[in-house]
Amino acid sequence: AFSIGLATALIVIGMGALKARDLMQQRLSSTMGRLVPVLSAVAIVAVAGSVMAGVYVERLCFAPLGVGAGVASMVSSFAIWMQLEQASLLMLPRHSYPFPSLTSGELLSVGPLVVRPDYLIMLAAMLAITAALHLLLYRTRFGLGLRAIIENSVAASLSGIDVRSTMLKAFA
């Protein structure tokens, strides 16, 4: 359940990154001092959009269905994902193309294997995010509370964990 909300948030971040890339290409002719506020604003909007999408998914797909509705939650989160995808296509019709290359460098080849450099960047980012999530879930009080809620939300509530607040934070 947590990973579905995270995937939705990452989709929104990806859409924000595409918009940021387009803005950067348009503004590269100007000075760097003028570019920093634009990038900061785009980053803030992307993070805010991700938080809103996560809360949207949690409130519509998981909170109303309660415990034991894993399949229904998953199906409803796919429906929300499709809504968000269609909304992004309506808002940004020019941007409905595959994810652009992050680098303009040449392909890396090791024997018969050929790899684009941006694939390695995405792999490194995925490994870093996975490590950060592991640390969050297994080394913090928040992670312990979240795991307790997933195991048994009633017992977690009785032990003093604010289930509603913790789930909202998990999707935000």
Which whole number is the average pLDDT over 92-106? Answer: 68
Q: How do residues 7-38 score in pLDDT, each as one tens digit?
A: 666 666 666 666 666 665 555 555 555 666 77
Beta strands in the chain (DSSP E): 108-110, 113-115
What the block records as the tokens of 136 is 């969050």
Rounded distance, CA 118 to CA 103, Å? Answer: 6
Whether the pLDDT of residue 89 is over 80: the answer is no
Whether the pLDDT of residue 159 is over 70: the answer is yes
Higher-confidence residue of 76 and 170: namely 170
| Number of neighbours of residue 11 by Cβ within 10 angstroms | 16
Task: Give the pLDDT of residue 127.
Answer: 93
Task: Give the pLDDT of residue 15.
Answer: 64
Amino acid at 147: R
The DSSP symbol for 67 reads T
With pLDDT > 90 as the criterion, what percentage of the chain qualifies?
A: 17
Q: How confident is the model at residue 172 (pLDDT cuts 50, 70, 90)?
A: confident
Let me know: does 122 contact 103? Beta carbons within 8 Å.
no
Let me know: does 9 contact 50? Beta carbons within 8 Å.
yes
> Which of the listed ranges 11-25, 88-102, 106-120, 158-172 does the model predict with the highest average pLDDT?
158-172
Out of 29-43, 54-68, 71-85, least confident range: 29-43
Rounded distance, CA 41 to CA 12, Å? Answer: 15
For residue 95, which of 2, 164, 23, 153 has the smallest C-alpha distance?
23
Q: What mean pLDDT, rounded, does the chain reach? A: 76
Residue 115 pairs with which residues in a beta bridge?
Answer: 108
Which whole number is the average pLDDT over 111-121? Answer: 82
Task: Give the pLDDT of residue 54.
Answer: 75
What the block records as the tokens of 1 is 């359940």
Task: Give the pLDDT of residue 57.
Answer: 72
Amino acid at 66: G
